[in-house]
């Protein structure tokens, strides 16, 4: 095997060294080695044509050469950086306590307390739900707020106003919509007729049984949101706008978040001052039990479902 290879250019070692040296990009252009003198991809054909026309081509070539050098160094540095991060993390992992042992430091008295007293103190059979919606309810409130704020940011970024030529753009988008999306597709509509009620019932079941079985507001809300999106895809915006407009979205989200905040503030206030909160815990295992967890789950589910639907409509047509 000492014979020098005739096909050095196609050998794996050559490709590997090329890749390490950053002269080829196996991620975007297959495993083809790019000749070193060629311009990098970003300049593309459009820039090539432009360059021919451009009188200032000279300065541009200098600029591209600088950028090419920068890119080569950047690639090498990023590969080195990634490998060193992976190695450092692997080294850390090798010092971690073994997987699945009961004596690991993560399994301390906090989780023991949740498991041993959770049922009495929160009334929730599902310990995780009891934890996130009772002991750590403000954490979950923060999560719902993060979702709400994210949808607000997307609204700010993607909304098309009637001023600034938004109307024209909206019309354009609607025309595009008609080309790319099927309108009144019979197969989709018949399937949606069967599926949408089932998806809604499943989502509502997950939300209402959050304290009894795996699930809760977040997962159930995501299911509800996907059902809404399917309905929208099958029947178009005219049908969904009958019951879901921006006003409805705003009111539902705001009411859910306000109720969550007030209810949990009340229960934390009474709990911290050793007062009687007057919220019955009920019998564990019954559907109406565990105090505030069920209403809070419904609030979170509403927020999540509205946010998912809002994301979809904003990305598709820039408004609700």
Partner 1 sequence: MTRLLSVNMEATVAVILFGVGFTMLLLHRNLIKKIMGMNIMDTAVYLFLAAKGYIDGRTAPIVVDGIQETSAYINPVPSGLVLTGIVVSVSTTALMLALTKRLYEQYGSLDLDEILILAKEEEEKRT
Backbone φ and ψ of 12, nearest 5°: -70, -35
Q: How far is the CB of 118 from partner 1 (least distance, A)?
A: 8
Q: How far is the CB of 227 from partner 1 (least distance, A)?
A: 17
132 vs 207, beta carbon nearer partner 1: 132
Q: How far is C-alpha 285 from the chain's CA centre? A: 32
10 vs 78, beta carbon nearer partner 1: 78
Exposure of 153 by Cβ count < 10 A (0-12 exposed, 13-18 middle, 19+ buried)? exposed
* 29, β-bridge pairs: 31
Q: How far is the CB of 222 from partner 1 (least distance, A)?
A: 9
61 vs 191, beta carbon nearer partner 1: 61
Q: How far is the CB of 297 from partner 1 (least distance, A)?
A: 13
Q: Decide if 118 contacts 293 (C-beta within 8 A).
A: no
Q: How far is the CB of 237 from partner 1 (least distance, A)?
A: 19
Q: How far is the CB of 273 from partner 1 (least distance, A)?
A: 26
Selection from 74, 156, 162, 122 nearest residue 271 by Cα = 122
* 31, β-bridge pairs: 29
Q: Which residues bind partner 1 (CB under 8 A)?
A: 25, 27-28, 41-42, 44, 67, 71, 75, 78-79, 81-83, 85-86, 89-90, 93-96, 98-102, 104, 106-107, 110-112, 114-116, 118-119, 125-128, 131-132, 136, 139, 143, 146-147, 149-151, 153-154, 157-158, 213-214, 218, 284, 311, 314-315
Q: Decide if 317 contacts 154 (C-beta within 8 A).
A: no
- Helix pair angle (44-53, 57-94), 10° resolution: 160
93 vs 288, beta carbon nearer partner 1: 93
Backbone φ and ψ of 29, nearest 5°: -125, 35
Backbone φ and ψ of 176, nearest 5°: -60, -45
Structure tokens at 198: 């089932």
Selection from 189, 229, 209 nearest residue 301 by Cα = 209
166 vs 189, beta carbon nearer partner 1: 166
Q: How far is the CB of 272 from partner 1 (least distance, A)?
A: 21
d(CA 150, CA 57): 44
Q: How far is the CB of 288 from partner 1 (least distance, A)?
A: 18
47 vs 248, beta carbon nearer partner 1: 47
79 vs 196, beta carbon nearer partner 1: 79
Helix (H, G, I), strand (E, B) or coil at 31: strand
d(CA 78, CA 247): 47
83 vs 198, beta carbon nearer partner 1: 83
């Amino acid at each position: 095997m000492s014979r020098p290879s005739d096909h050095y250019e196609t050998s794996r070692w050559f490709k590997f060294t090329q890749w390490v040296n950053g002269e080829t990009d196996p991620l975007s252009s297959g495993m083809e080695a790019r000749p070193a003198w060629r311009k990098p991809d970003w300049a593309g054909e459009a820039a090539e044509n432009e360059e021919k026309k451009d009188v200032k081509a000279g300065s541009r070539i200098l600029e591209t050469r600088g950028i090419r050098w920068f890119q080569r160094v950047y690639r090498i540095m990023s590969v080195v950086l990634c490998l060193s991060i992976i190695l450092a993390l692997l080294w850390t992992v090798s010092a971690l306590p073994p997987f699945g042992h009961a004596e690991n430091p993560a399994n301390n008295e906090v989780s023991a307390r949740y498991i041993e007293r959770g049922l009495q103190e929160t009334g929730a059979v599902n310990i995780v739900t009891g934890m996130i919606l009772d002991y750590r309810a403000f954490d979950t409130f923060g999560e719902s707020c993060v979702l709400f704020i994210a949808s607000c940011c997307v609204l700010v970024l993607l909304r098309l106003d009637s001023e600034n030529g938004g109307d024209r753009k909206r019309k354009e988008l609607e025309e595009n919509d008609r080309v790319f999306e099927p309108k009144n597709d019979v197969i989709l509509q018949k399937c949606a007729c069967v599926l949408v009620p089932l998806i809604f019932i499943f989502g509502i079941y997950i939300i209402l049984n959050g304290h009894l079985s795996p699930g809760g507001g977040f997962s159930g809300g995501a299911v509800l949101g996907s059902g809404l999106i399917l309905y929208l895809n099958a029947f178009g915006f005219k049908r969904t706008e009958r019951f879901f407009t921006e006003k409805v979205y705003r009111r539902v989200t705001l009411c859910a978040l306000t109720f969550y905040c007030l209810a949990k503030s009340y229960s934390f206030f009474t709990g911290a001052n050793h007062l009687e909160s007057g919220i019955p815990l009920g019998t564990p295992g019954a559907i109406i039990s565990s105090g505030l967890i069920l209403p809070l789950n419904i609030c979170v589910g509403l927020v999540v479902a509205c946010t998912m639907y809002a994301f979809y409509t904003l990305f598709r047509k820039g408004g609700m």
